Structure formats: structure tokens, C-alpha cells
Amino acid sequence: MRWPRPGRRPAPRARHGASPAAPHVLALIPAHNEAERIAASIAALHRQERPPHRIVVVADNCTDGTAETARADRATVIASQNNRHKKAGALNQALDQLLAALDDTDMVLVQDADTTLGPAFLASAIAAMDATVGAVGGIFYGERGGGLLGALQRIEFHRYAREIARREYRADVLTGTATLFRVATLREVRQARRKGLIGGGTSYYSLASLTEDDEITKAVRTLGYRTVSPPGCGVVTEVMTSLPNLWHQRLRWQRGALENLRDYGWTRVTAPYIIRQGFMGLSVLFLALYLVFTGWMLARGKPEFTPFWLAVGLLFVVEKVVTAHGAGWKSQLLAGTLAVELAYDVFQHAVYIRSLWDMTRGREEHWRAT
């Protein structure tokens, strides 16, 4: 696969005597009370075709056995100190400690503690790194379970994976589930923040953003690097099992994305994101009009289902079923019912409207662990 190249960048400084094909890889896992999941995440790293040279778990204000479990699984553990900035703060503290011993050509994998990497992840991500790529993000899929809500999220994630492939594996978001950074890129991000070229504080990750992964994507791309999610970089991550948790997760994602666009403004990098948010607003409007019109037609007691509209509806159902391929035949049956997914779309639209409303009113939104 060949990705478009917006322009060559100079190659980072290499470790003395090291081979460019074999960079030193540090895996970094921020974790807050993840004793039940951290072992699976670390085990998946040990099973990599190209395992990381070191695994470090950042125990962030943990009150359970996260640290003990991580040490038992051959990971180094460092504890955050007086961190009040959640995941971004914990990562900044760890990177401040660890990057001093790394060269520009070395790499840092940042992954969530509730995520397991496919065995080819690191090998595929390293292979995708050329001088124009600053970071490689994962392609995430939902774990099993979660009932109807879990099934809907798995369908959604599979469709997003198809969209990444359709875009020739361009990563519009360096997902927090798992992303491999070149050390040189992280250093450039921090330097750009300190010079005021981009906002978000003076460290690697922005402390001002609700969605640090979305913000650092824009930072990396603003510096002129490409971000990609190539085949082989699949990960399996947690799904929300309750509607309140899903609501708060998606509200944070949507609100964070909107605020990041507001803070960066209209640029060559942000323009496609802003246009996409505009289309999302149009889809909210059109769905609302469709539901109002359908309700009005049914209330009249004279629904008019012409062959043309029946054909359009059938095509819509087929599209839903086909794009759910890969999530399993049960998910495809669920997609074919249309009504359940329509309700899920309304839920997503409600998140969008609430995010816009809260941002317009200046209401403060907090990072909430789920």
C-alpha cells in the first residue's frame, strides 16, 4: 500500500551504531485501577511478533492491585506524583522521566490498559514508519459482551475500520487505545507547544483537552507529519456496558473534538475535520426531519409507501448489513432490523446536540473515567 506523501521531512537523528530497521521500542501503559485488565494488556505485548524492549505501566492514583499485577507480569511500574490531569498528566510525567534515555529514532507505544494488541501490531506499525510518518494509530474493535449495547458498538467500530481502509489507511485520530510515536515527533510536539506554535501547555500531551488523543493527532499533523493506521494494527478494546457510561464517554469524545477544532481554528489540517462536523450537523437535521415527516404521515393514518421509497429503504438496509460484515452474523441481523440502529443514531445525534449546546453555553465538561 502506498500512501500519499505531502512532502519529505529530514530523517530523525539515529542512535549511534543502531540499525534503522530495529528501533528501540518502549511500551507505555497509563492505568488507573486496572488490576482486572492490565495482565491481558501486558500479555498481548509479550506475544508481539516484535515485542517491545521495555514495558512500563504508569500507575496513576491507583488504589487496587494494578502495580502488583503489572510487576508480576514483567513490567516496570512507575507511579504518577500528585497528578490532577488524568491520563494526559500521567503520560507527561512518565515521558519526562523516560525520553531522556531514548534517541530520536526510538519509538514509544502508548496504549490503554483496557486494550489488547493483535500480535502483528508493532511489526506493522514499525514497517509503516517512514520519514513522513510521525505516528501510527491502531484500528480498534470492540471486545465481546455488553449485550445489545456492546453489539451496536462493535458494529460501529467495524464500520470505522472499513472507513480507514477506504481512506487508504490514513488515521484521522491517533486513537488512545494504541498509538506508536517516533520519539523525535514527541519532542517536536513539546518544543512547538513551548514556542507557542500550538497550544495545550508546555509538555507532550495537552492538559487542556478532554480528548488528548484527538488533540495530539492535530498537533502531529500540524507539524507536517502524516498519521496512518495500516493493516495489521488491530486492537481489541473495552465497550461500554451501560447507557450512562456510553453517554458520558461519547459526550467527552464529541465535546473534546469540537473544542480542539475551536482552539486550532481553520487551518489546512483542521479544515476537513470542520467540514465533517458540518456534515454531521446536516445529518442530525435530515434525520430529525425524516422522523417528523414519518410521524406526521402515520398520524394522518395514510402512510404512502411508493415502490420508489420502498426501494430506497431496501438499499439502506442492504448498506447497513453489508457494512456490518466482520462483526458477525448476529450483528448483521441486528443491522438488518434498521429500527435498533436508527435508535442508536438518534442517541449519537443527541450527544452531538448536547455537546454543541454545552460548548455554546460555556458549560465545563470533565474527563470522566468509565
pLDDT in tens, 271-312: 999 999 999 999 899 888 878 877 877 787 766 666 766 676
Task: Give tens-digit pLDDT for 321-337.
Answer: 888 887 888 888 888 88
| Residue 355 near residue 253, CB atoms below 8 Å | no
Q: Tell me how far apart the alpha carbons of residues 333 and 350 are, in angstroms, rounded to a whole number.
A: 25
326 CB-contact burial (10 Å; exposed 0-12 / middle 13-18 / buried 19+) = middle
* SS3 assignment for 182-199: EHHHHHHHHHHHHCCCCC
319 CB-contact burial (10 Å; exposed 0-12 / middle 13-18 / buried 19+) = exposed
Alpha carbon distances (Å) from 341 to 24, 129, 141, 248, 338: 44, 37, 18, 19, 5
Q: Tell me how far apart the alpha carbons of residues 128 and 172 are, in angstroms, rounded to a whole number.
A: 16
The residues pairing with 29 across neighbouring beta strands, listed in sequence order, are: 57
pLDDT tens, N- to C-terminus, the chain (370 residues): 332 333 334 444 444 444 455 799 999 999 999 999 999 999 999 999 999 999 999 999 999 999 999 999 999 999 999 999 999 999 999 999 999 999 999 999 999 999 999 999 999 999 999 999 999 999 999 999 999 999 999 999 999 999 999 999 999 999 999 999 999 999 999 999 999 999 999 999 999 999 999 999 999 999 999 999 999 999 999 999 999 999 999 999 999 999 999 999 999 999 999 999 999 999 899 888 878 877 877 787 766 666 766 676 677 788 888 888 878 888 888 888 878 988 999 999 999 999 999 998 877 655 455 5
| pTM of this structure | 0.88
Alpha carbon distances (Å) from 351 to 86, 254, 281, 341: 23, 7, 11, 15
7: left (phi over 0), alpha (psi -120 to 50) or beta: left
Secondary structure (DSSP) of 99-122: GGG--TT-EEEEE-TTEEE-TTHH
